[in-house]
A = this chain, B = another copy of it.
């Protein structure tokens, strides 16, 4: 038996909030102008009130609205898979499980928060949502969620991904979304970047600035972010909650959890429900956030206040950062090209609750191809980071002869990333 399924009655009823269990209170976000702690009304031009309340919530459980839970049933619970053929290929005694978020209709975990965010916007009468996207997973998810709840969707996609993954744009269009390469000439900030760097390949920081500018200059529009913020991470905790139930069905519990790390939402989704048990002293578990060497936020960034976007329009967040103007190489894992990190993940790392690790692009593709040959699923380049981390843990266990249980999150499939694989197979990465 490779796959552990759950029935739809087991789709979680609540999001689990790690905030009340953190080692220390979270540093407050600061207003970018006054540098004073934000109050909820500061965020109202860009987010609906319900999400602002979740962003600042310290309640341990947040109920999932019935309509959102119903929407999750389009694809959840996602399977938990024992990667037996990968274990065999590695010759390890370690058990490797992965939570397969790639079965989401849009191809990644991003739909978990997109559905919630669009729902809350719709409830407050918002008609249009602007956002950025890196590799396109988030933009696709938000497009579909907007289609589902009847909102207009406009997406600024980092130019390097826009060009290397043309099918992503078509998929956003198919769901009714509009997608622009960023930097674009549609915003003042985009025009400024293009004037200074006409060949700019873009970054998540720039695309976020463009999306926020679009938001505040259009009527009845709000902004949506696919990672980093507390409420986004909160929505993703349904991943780890399901994994706990599925592992319990197999009589198992992980020694190590591995997630890829860009802004933090996938890592949070798979690990936070387990880390809550750890922080409460109930369980012992390691959690490893894996990032690209070319954008080593957690492993080489500074822990300080910084803006979430390049233009400095967002609140200042207390986080690991490479500096808001950091321009990462145009790697294929476009979803991980972010200069900052989620404030919650940052604090957990700073306090030593979790670990972080960086890999280069070649070794993550190598891990992805090994996984694809064993399990048949072609993983997104982002997910390849988690796979590489899990493989390394399995090889350490092989060396030491320990029978460890490793859990990682397959954040998405790589069906729109075949150009990256082609380059890797041709030896050009």
A-side residues, CB < 8 A to B, are 1-3, 5-9, 73-75, 85, 103-107, 111, 144, 147-148, 166-167, 170-171, 173-176, 369, 372-373, 375-378, 413, 415-416, 418-419, 421-422, 425
Cα distance A247–B360 in the bound complex, in angstroms:
48
Given contacts A167-B415, A170-B422, A372 and B175 within 8 Å (CB-CB): yes
Residue of B nearest to A4 (CB): B8
Cα distance A373–B150 in the bound complex, in angstroms:
11
Interface contact A73-B2, CB-CB below 8 Å: yes
Cα distance A167–B166 in the bound complex, in angstroms:
12
Select which of B73, B148, B369, B377 is within 8 A of A1 by beta carbon: B73
Cα distance A302–B27 in the bound complex, in angstroms:
76
| CB<8 Å pairs between A and B, sample of 17 | A3-B8, A5-B6, A5-B7, A5-B8, A74-B376, A103-B103, A107-B415, A144-B376, A167-B419, A170-B419, A171-B418, A174-B369, A174-B372, A174-B373, A174-B378, A174-B421, A176-B373
Interface contact B1-A375, CB-CB below 8 Å: no
- How many chain copies? 2
Residue of B nearest to A144 (CB): B376
Chain B nearest CB, measured from A218 CB (Å): 24
Cα distance A198–B170 in the bound complex, in angstroms:
32
Interface contact A375-B415, CB-CB below 8 Å: no
Chain B nearest CB, measured from A20 CB (Å): 32
Interface contact A425-B167, CB-CB below 8 Å: no
Which B residues touch A171, using CB under 8 A?
Answer: 378, 418, 421
Which B residues touch A1, using CB under 8 A?
Answer: 8-9, 73
Interface contact B376-A106, CB-CB below 8 Å: yes
Which B residues touch A7, using CB under 8 A?
Answer: 5
Cα distance A130–B74 in the bound complex, in angstroms:
38
Chain B nearest CB, measured from A85 CB (Å): 8
Which B residues touch A419, using CB under 8 A?
Answer: 167, 170
Which B residues touch A2, using CB under 8 A?
Answer: 8, 73-74
Interface contact A425-B174, CB-CB below 8 Å: yes
Residue of B nearest to A173 (CB): B425
Cα distance A262–B147 in the bound complex, in angstroms:
32
Given contacts A105-B375, A375-B74, A170 and B418 within 8 Å (CB-CB): yes
Which B residues touch A418, using CB under 8 A?
Answer: 166-167, 170-171
Which B residues touch A175, using CB under 8 A?
Answer: 372-373
Interface contact A75-B376, CB-CB below 8 Å: yes
Chain B nearest CB, measured from A257 CB (Å): 23
Cα distance A6–B4 in the bound complex, in angstroms:
10
Select which of B8, B9, B376, B421 is within 8 A of A105 by beta carbon: B376
Cα distance A105–B369 in the bound complex, in angstroms:
14
Which B residues touch A6, using CB under 8 A?
Answer: 5
Residue of B nearest to A111 (CB): B376
Residue of B nearest to A413 (CB): B415
Which B residues touch A8, using CB under 8 A?
Answer: 1-3, 5
Cα distance A315–B147 in the bound complex, in angstroms:
50
Cα distance A419–B2 in the bound complex, in angstroms:
34
| Additional pairs, 4, CB under 8 Å, beyond known A85-B148, A105-B378, A170-B422 | A74-B376, A167-B419, A173-B425, A174-B378
Residue of B nearest to A423 (CB): B170
Which B residues touch A174, using CB under 8 A?
Answer: 369, 372-373, 378, 421, 425
Which B residues touch A167, using CB under 8 A?
Answer: 167, 415, 418-419
Which of A148, A166, A167, A176 has the most chain B CB within a 10 Å cutoff?
A167
Select which of B5, B415, B422 is within 8 A of A5 by beta carbon: B5
Interface contact A73-B105, CB-CB below 8 Å: no
Which B residues touch A170, using CB under 8 A?
Answer: 418-419, 421-422, 425
Cα distance A144–B85 in the bound complex, in angstroms:
13
Cα distance A369–B421 in the bound complex, in angstroms:
28
Cα distance A173–B372 in the bound complex, in angstroms:
11
Which of A74, A147, A176 has the most chain B CB within a 10 Å cutoff?
A74
Which B residues touch A74, using CB under 8 A?
Answer: 2-3, 85, 375-376
Chain B nearest CB, measured from A67 CB (Å): 12
